[in-house]
A and B are shown apart, each in its own frame.
Chain A
């Protein structure tokens, strides 16, 4: 058996090939540790407001459960209908011996210094599991909040959707916008078993100086479906992530959607990679990036076809709203055998005068026309997403303060 600690120590200073290097030693640990709680009453009003900004509502009736973590150790959780199992990952490891087969399995512990840091100093994270055959239509909500300046938050999440089960998870990650520099490292490992289905919707809203390095990967087995929906519409100091999906089972399917509305001087480097390893696998990577202010956005996408009869499409569309913003689309296709069907489409454009003229002639002001075009551009209809979650996504987009005009 591999020794995660040892591997992590070796990778302690291993830089990531993409994204600005972060000096991890600057960030502190919490002064005082809080303990796991089960009561939602203890969430302060201010914290609730932050949560609602990222689509998490602790009072929501139509939910299958909740996990909230504030900074490093303050954790609240419940599983309302007892269908989905929800536990802090530290408790789950103690409870289930078998979890070690999942822990650092989809993501390698020695990927880079960030994965290493999470192994060497784990603050917590969630373990969420839908049992065999359980189809849970109401979403499970999770919120990871970074509230204190100058600290780090090292998270490790594991999501398991057992055979023939269905799970919808929304995770909001949030910081107050004016927070001092702080660091969020988040490992997420997804396991979608035979004929299971997971939709994972993640909404980020960070502070101007928050540094963010998520590292996630999914393993999808035969007939499984993984739909990933990532939305960031706020400032951030610097964010880099490149989730990878391994379609290991025949006829498994993955779709990754990303919407980035870049503001301020933020730097976003967001990718999506699908590795098609079996017969009949299908993939789709779609991103919509909008560059306002002086934001810098990299939209990466990679499709790797390893088995004949697989098919995937990559689509990166960018809309530039400011001369000082910069958008880069980096699509990559790789076929390792014949009979692989991969395609891509990348566009970067600006709002056309013709579109404004058209909408204004219908009575909209120039500003209304601009925001309608931008909102339209950001609209992606994610298949299989429960209506409540589609609404969460739409609401998040409505909350965007459209700057630049």
Chain B
């Protein structure tokens, strides 16, 4: 596997609502590898994802984010998305009156390519991308969501799978998944695990997974594991730490393995 850098966080400081949340985080992500970001609740994991994606309420006050060597902190979310960064949301909002299948068809990479040639407008015509679309819904066992308004009344597990499907259909180079496994039952967990594994095996995507689940990370054979605490990266290791981490919990684990 090549060790080409694709994304770098350099001394990243981020404020939300004038409160410092991230306090100097530096991480290098290499192409097509799998990274785990773990840490206690409220430590800043989602904030890292939002800052990379470019949420307007999360201001970079110091440091930089480089994507393929270029600073992206002044780029809009749309620009970052079109450059190949995608995020599966932890708590996505409801979009009334927009059906999930139509939406996925509209955003999917292949439709985007056709539509870009046609004066930049989307087609969003379901029949044009039916095979992939139908297959995806089937594979993730969310065919019941096809004709529903986006995220309207979706269960936790349905949200995870719908987010995963959307992100997959964007065919991104960097895929950030914010707790893609929370609230899933055993069967769905396996399903999501298998789907993520397929992405890893196809070797075209860098995956950044925020999770608490040892199962997913071991199954995916995460290349690196970072622990975030109070807005800082406090540990840097690989998947071999997971059993100990699970046994001891963050507090005790960090007491014994301090980086600081």
Contact = CB atoms under 8 A, between A and B. Distances in A.
Q: Which one of A362, A373, A375 has the highest number of Cβ atoms from chain B below 10 Å of its Cβ?
A: A362
B228 to A, nearest CB: 21
Given A360-B78, A362-B81, A368-B122, A352 B93 contact: yes
A34 interface: no
Contacts of B122: 368
Query: On chain B, which size bracket covers the interface?
Result: 20 to 34
A305 B98 CA distance: 34
Interface stretch (B26-34, B50-58, B65-73): B50-58
A361 interface: yes
Interface stretch (A59-67, A168-176, A234-242, A376-384): A376-384
Chain B interface helix/strand/loop/mixed: mixed
Contacts of A352: 93
A262 B216 CA distance: 50
B95 A359 contact: yes
A360 B77 CA distance: 6
Given A353-B57, A357-B56, A376-B149, A363 B93 contact: no
A377 B56 contact: no
Interface residues of A, number: 23
A359 B107 CA distance: 9
A360 B76 contact: yes
Nearest to A319: B96
Contacts of A360: 76-78, 81
B9 interface: no
Interface in B40-69: 53, 55-57
B87 interface: yes
A366 B78 contact: yes
Contacts, number: 61
A358 B82 contact: no
Interface in A323-371: 352-355, 357-366, 368
Contacts of A363: 78, 81-82, 107, 112, 170
Given A357-B56, A361-B86, A361-B87, A376 B98 contact: yes
Interface string A56-79: 000000000000000000000000
Given A368-B122, A376-B149, A362 B95 contact: no
Interface string B96-108: 1110000100010
Given A364-B107, A368-B122, A376-B149, A358 B86 contact: no
Contact of B77 (A357, A368, A376, A380): A357
Interface of A: 352-355, 357-366, 368, 372-373, 375-380
27 contacts: A355-B93, A355-B95, A357-B56, A357-B77, A358-B89, A358-B92, A359-B95, A360-B77, A360-B78, A360-B81, A362-B81, A362-B170, A363-B78, A363-B81, A363-B82, A363-B170, A366-B76, A372-B95, A372-B98, A373-B95, A376-B95, A376-B149, A377-B96, A377-B97, A379-B96, A379-B98, A380-B97
For the complex of A and B, the 9 pairs showing the least CB-CB separation, nearest first, are: A376-B97, A379-B97, A376-B98, A360-B77, A363-B81, A362-B107, A360-B78, A354-B93, A355-B93
